[in-house]
Structure 1
Amino acid sequence: MASQDTVQAVGGESLTGVRKHLLIDGNLITTERTITSIDPATEGVVGYAPDAGVEETEVAIAAARRAFDTTDWSTNVEFRIHCLDQLHKALLDNIEELRELTITEVGATRMLTHANQLAAPIEIVRYYADLLRTYPLREEMGEIEVRGQQHRRWVEKEAAGVVAAITAYNYPNQLALAKLAPALAAGCTVVLKGSPDTPLITLALGELIARYTDIPAGVVNVLSSSDVAVGETMTTHPDVDVVTFTGSTVVGKKIMAAASGTLKRVFLELGGKSALIVLDDLEESDVAMAAMFAAFSICSHAGQGCALTTRILVPRTQHDHFAELVSANLQRITYGDPGDQGTYMGPLITERQREKVDGLVQRAVAAGATLVTGGEKVSPGFFYTPTLLAGVDPDSEIAQEEVFGPVLAMIPYDDDDHAVRIANNSAFGLSGGVMGKDEERAIAVGRRIRTGTFSINGGNYFTPDVPFGGFKQSGIGREMGTAGFEEFLETKTFAATVKS
């Protein structure tokens, strides 16, 4: 990774001691209180972000309300396309600066910034700018005769209003742009709050909007805050029409309850405990591929992904063989400096998160799971070694709770029906996968799993045009794709008498 003395952030600042600004009503401002951003790979200070309070939040919401109610943002489709095109260009023009900040603050590997940590999220903006060019915001329903009079009916889609968007720390660019781009395309105004663990990269997006786009003042407001009252204000304020949140299921439940007071539209992207089912018809070369896929998947971004397959279900007769293969692959994982091109896995985000992961592993072993490999903390930085727990009880804590670390739980099963029961034995329903030689059989198994996304033999569904979201306690609603756009639209029906 480049020296912190020479790496540049958006606006030309050194990454050592970076200071970013809130974006409120078109102004870049700071606060007396700050959040210290820590590099999870070195435990050093990256920089400082303003720590917004309720007062700044209320000003931001008022600005978003005013921009929605008094400007033509919500109705001027061509202008919105123009601004989204500008934002896409600004992101591409500043991608290297954003890359270094993402690596340093998020602990994302350089490899991942060329995919889902940065490059892919930028294309979400391109997707929604193009979708807006062709999406039918009006649909004619034809005429109907009622009591001798002809009536013409049509349906129009219009912006849902002011959006409160709250994101998590693990993929801050993806999460912010998957909310911001479709909301803006729909004509909504937005108050976006990033995670206090990764505030700088989210604020950098706001600075790009302020400096390089014609998006009017108040249309986008970007906050960073460590104050829980800020989130409460965003989710209960009467001037907010829509709440979109990505984070834990525990917090999602609280947001849903809080938003009910004003009957806001709420959509939530929450936790997961996804299962990868390995069918018994795989040939040995495919078995080896499945083991490698499972190992490298669980270590992607150190396991800090809600849709990762954190349980692997294998035929009981092949359990020990699979454990050997997966363990060998986990021991091949390179971890360390995320800025190094050869590093596959970076650190966990905080020491607090590492302690949580380690506690779950230690309790799993105490409960009877076999620690095949891993289970160690490595410092400096918040690293945790790639970990395999075998012989896991499907009802145990480690098989039920979201770990958010590089920990894979291996569970034996007896037949397809048993595997489906185990996979569905979860409060979550975000994702999953199956690997099998007979594709029709694999698809049939996949159709029985209660999840919002599903991968057959390693198929990749995570692209801007494909809806993403979950069943059960993994959330409500969808992000990305046309479905993600329509989350920010209201449907209005018109009827007019036809003069003879």
Structure 2
Amino acid sequence: MSLLKINSFAAGQWVAPDANARGIDNAVTGAPFGLAGNDALDVQAMLDHARQIGSPALRALTFHDRARMLKALASHLGNHKQALYDLSFATGATQADHLIDVDGGIGTMFVFASKGRREMPDGHVYLDGPVEQLSRSGSFLGQHIATPLQGVAVHINAFNFPVWGMLEKLAPTLLAGVPAIVKPATATCYVTEHAVRIMLDSGILPTGALQLVSGGLGDMLDHLTCQDVVSFTGSAQTAFKLRSAPHILRNSIRFVAEQDSLNASILGPDALPGTPEFDLFVKEVEREITTKAGQKCTAIRRILAPQAQVDAVIAALSARLAKTVIGDPQAQGTRMGALVSNSQKRDVLEKARIIATEAERVFGDPENFDVQGADIENGAFLPPMLFHCADPDAARRVHDTEAFGPVSTIMGYRDLDHAITLVNRGEGSLVASVITHDPEVAREVAMGAGAFHGRLYFNNRDSMSEATGHGSPLPHMVHGGPGRAGGGEELGGVRGVMHYMQRTAIQGSPDILTAITRKWVPGATEIPAPAHPFTRTFHALGIGETIQTGPREITLADIEQFAQFTGDTFYAHMDEEAAKRNPFFPGRVAHGYLLLSFAAGLFVEPNEGPVLANTGLDALRFMKPVQAGDSIKVRLTVKNKTPRNEAYGEVRWHVTLSNQDDELVAEYELLTMNAYAS
């Protein structure tokens, strides 16, 4: 059988492996499978290609353009995922594992596409936080903005998730407007290579947006600049070597790391045998030990249970693990496949021997276990292994040795403070979970352990039917952790996009900020509306377009009628003497919502037109009370516009209410959906 030749894609060309290529074995059979690597790759040409062609092309697109591009890529990958499944079996992964890797990666792309459309502007500048007033009158303002870095992102990924590991980094990078050079782990790079081919063949990506290194990077990192980013997933040792390179440090090159993690799960003191929480805990731990044969950066490595429940947990967990069918990942009924390679198998066994110096193995014998339908001698198979550490306070290695495979250690705790102390001894992890039905237990753990963990996952009988699991990083939430976990953050929605953008503080007049951000800032020039803005389509409306209404007097009869009609008879509206005793009011005042209703009556165009719906209001503030005899008038300004679909977009209006003395009475932002065509 001829070996699979895994190519790189460099500067617009596919490059085959050379004579120095590294061999890759089939994890299930141990047989030679493929070749990857080319020492002659022109890394400077790849970087130039990304910076000079890919970067300008991506930055020319708006955030919404890039979001639509991500959605199209995700859909295209979804149409070709069977080919990725078929290849992935050679990594030792089962079909259930493929769903996490392939479908999970595609789903992550869809989420970033959605967030890009919903949470980012249809423009080139992202606003990070509100406008800051830096002067008394408001003529000098500040605003934090973010714009794409003008370099390239180098993604160095681990072997365990060849598709998800790539896409969870690639989605926020492309959404930011930065091209990527992807370097997957060699052991599983053939799956990544095929995913890259699918994306490139689609024609969806601009030229230069995506390149691939199958094999070693050579000296690429020595050619990076302050506009580039390195995003790394792998061992702490490799991360330290790369991030401490003089060139990286000297040029302050961004380095995002997700590395070793001794994740833990705590069985709450209330979760006794027979409760739904106890059964849930055992199920979650068993799943994390066996999924991907334990080769997950979020897998549970340390199991913490009340000392009185340790034996019950060992018995229940051993019973579940005993039902795990190990074998050919393509065979029906197989629950756990092989590790990614025999080299990885040897590493896991070595780490298990280290753990065994402080803990007793209570389940799983690597010298005596069954494998169904596969070659146990040549395949990289191991059984699930459970250890028990009787003295976790005296132990050290169980808290700092990660066997990256189906290995976990259970230990008892005396009380919740002791559990928190033990879970924190991992010195930084990606995730810790707590299975409890007691909210106070959850709060105590969050307060005591939050600083040591990137994510805290709580689950119980109330959330178990919908919870995603201890080991499932979600694109909406940050994925990373302090200390030994790398100190980085990935995913997290727009937070993940910000890793590939520069935050800049801009300062200037309202007109300057409006011009830069394409969002009208109060105090900036107002454009008199050529017609009532509610009669103008989404695209016809201009930022800053304004109307000012005539006044309307507020009468005592208005206030009383509104109170009786709505049932809001709060004393400040109905009792003159009581209202005067209130430090906020001079006497009876109009309802705030009466003012909003009258404001709408002043500026609304009643006839059918482009305005389809009022979808809400934001940032409402009442600044000055309005009494009977006062009058109000309204200024309505187009602040921002965001397309929503093919038929209509959202218009954000800045609304101010002033009284007869031109004093500001109320201020808010009105949201409407406006049609593109009349």
Instruction: Report the TM-score, using the length of structure 2 for normalisation.
Output: 0.66
Sequence identity percentage? 24
Counterpart mapping for 1:177-188 below 5 A: 177-188=167-178
Equivalent in 507, 525, 550 of residue 495 of structure 1: 507
Displacement after TM superposition at 1:269 (Å): 0.8
**Residues 86, 212 of structure 1: 8 Å contact kept:** no
Displacement after TM superposition at 1:442 (Å): 3.1
Residue aligning to 1:356 = 347
Q: Is 2:314 the partner of 1:327?
A: no
Counterpart mapping for 1:357-372 below 5 A: 357-365=348-356, 367-372=357-362
Counterpart mapping for 1:91-490 below 5 A: 91-104=77-90, 106-114=91-99, 116-134=100-118, 135-136=120-121, 137-139=125-127, 142=131, 144=133, 150-160=139-149, 161-225=151-215, 227=216, 230=217, 232-234=219-221, 237-238=224-225, 241-258=228-245, 259-286=248-275, 287-365=278-356, 367-376=357-366, 378-394=376-392, 395-449=395-449, 450-457=452-459, 459-460=467-468, 462-480=473-491, 481-490=493-502
Question: How far apart are the structure 2 equivalents of 1:418 and 1:427?
Answer: 15
The letter of the residue matching 2:494 is T
Displacement after TM superposition at 1:456 (Å): 1.2
The letter of the residue matching 2:95 is R
Q: Is 2:55 the partner of 1:64?
A: no
Displacement after TM superposition at 1:433 (Å): 1.0
Taking CA–CA contacts closer than 8 Å with sequence separation of 6 or more, which of the two structures ends up with the larger relative contact order? 1
Q: Relative to structure 1, is the Cα distance of residues 143 and 273 closer, same or farther in structure 2, using a 3 angstrom cutoff? A: closer
Residue aligning to 1:12 = none
Q: Relative to structure 1, is the Cα distance of residues 370 and 238 closer, same or farther in structure 2, using a 3 angstrom cutoff? A: same
Q: Deviations over 1:453-473 (max 9, x none)?
A: 122126436222222111212
The letter of the residue matching 2:189 is P
Aligned residue for 2:408, secondary structure, equals strand
Q: Deviations over 1:57-85 (max 9, x none)?
A: 3321121121255x332131254234323
Question: How far apart are the structure 2 equivalents of 1:290 and 1:146?
Answer: 56
Question: How far apart are the structure 2 equivalents of 1:295 and 1:438?
Answer: 23
Give ranges in structure 2 of 5+ residues lacking alignment: 368-375, 512-524, 526-678
The letter of the residue matching 1:468 is H
**Residues 388, 410 of structure 1: 8 Å contact kept:** yes
**Residues 44, 223 of structure 2: 8 Å contact kept:** no
The letter of the residue matching 1:46 is F
The letter of the residue matching 2:503 is T
Question: How far apart are the structure 1 equivalents of 2:430 and 2:321?
Answer: 24
Displacement after TM superposition at 1:443 (Å): 4.0
Q: Deviations over 1:197-226 (max 9, x none)?
A: 11111111221222112322222111111x
Displacement after TM superposition at 1:247 (Å): 0.5
Give ranges in structure 1 of 5+ residues lacking alignment: 6-15
Q: Relative to structure 1, is the Cα distance of residues 491 and 362 closer, same or farther in structure 2, using a 3 angstrom cutoff? A: closer
Question: How far apart are the structure 1 equivalents of 2:9 and 2:398?
Answer: 41
Q: Relative to structure 1, is the Cα distance of residues 304 and 145 closer, same or farther in structure 2, using a 3 angstrom cutoff? A: closer
Residue aligning to 2:586 = none
How many pairs align?
A: 478
Aligned residue for 1:384, secondary structure, equals coil
Question: How far apart are the structure 2 equivalents of 1:53 and 1:23?
Answer: 13
Displacement after TM superposition at 1:295 (Å): 2.0
Residue aligning to 1:85 = 71
Question: How far apart are the structure 2 equivalents of 1:131 and 1:181?
Answer: 11
Question: How far apart are the structure 2 equivalents of 1:432 and 1:80?
Answer: 34
Aligned residue for 1:372, secondary structure, equals strand
Residue aligning to 1:23 = 9
**Residues 235, 243 of structure 1: 8 Å contact kept:** no
Question: How far apart are the structure 2 equivalents of 1:242 and 1:126?
Answer: 23
The letter of the residue matching 2:474 is T
Displacement after TM superposition at 1:299 (Å): 1.4
**Residues 148, 176 of structure 2: 8 Å contact kept:** yes
Question: How far apart are the structure 1 equivalents of 2:74 and 2:53?
Answer: 22
Aligned residue for 2:113, secondary structure, equals helix
CA RMSD of aligned residues (A): 2.5
Question: How far apart are the structure 1 equivalents of 2:268 and 2:257?
Answer: 32
Q: Deviations over 1:223-246 (max 9, x none)?
A: 111x4xx26523653376111000
Question: How far apart are the structure 1 equivalents of 2:353 and 2:38?
Answer: 38
Q: Deviations over 1:241-261 (max 9, x none)?
A: 111000011111122212212
The letter of the residue matching 1:113 is H
Question: How far apart are the structure 1 equivalents of 2:447 and 2:223?
Answer: 38
Question: How far apart are the structure 2 equivalents of 1:72 and 1:238?
Answer: 20
Displacement after TM superposition at 1:188 (Å): 0.3
The letter of the residue matching 1:67 is I
The letter of the residue matching 2:381 is F
Question: How far apart are the structure 1 equivalents of 2:301 and 2:347?
Answer: 16
Question: How far apart are the structure 2 equivalents of 1:76 and 1:468?
Answer: 27
Equivalent in 26, 38, 45 of residue 39 of structure 1: 26
The letter of the residue matching 1:391 is C
**Residues 296, 333 of structure 1: 8 Å contact kept:** no
Question: How far apart are the structure 2 equivalents of 1:380 and 1:145?
Answer: 69
Based on CA coordinates, which of the two structures has the bigger radius of gyration? 2
The letter of the residue matching 2:73 is L
Question: How far apart are the structure 2 equivalents of 1:270 and 1:382?
Answer: 23
Displacement after TM superposition at 1:359 (Å): 2.0
Q: Relative to structure 1, is the Cα distance of residues 422 and 153 closer, same or farther in structure 2, using a 3 angstrom cutoff? A: closer
Aligned residue for 2:117, secondary structure, equals helix
Displacement after TM superposition at 1:390 (Å): 1.1
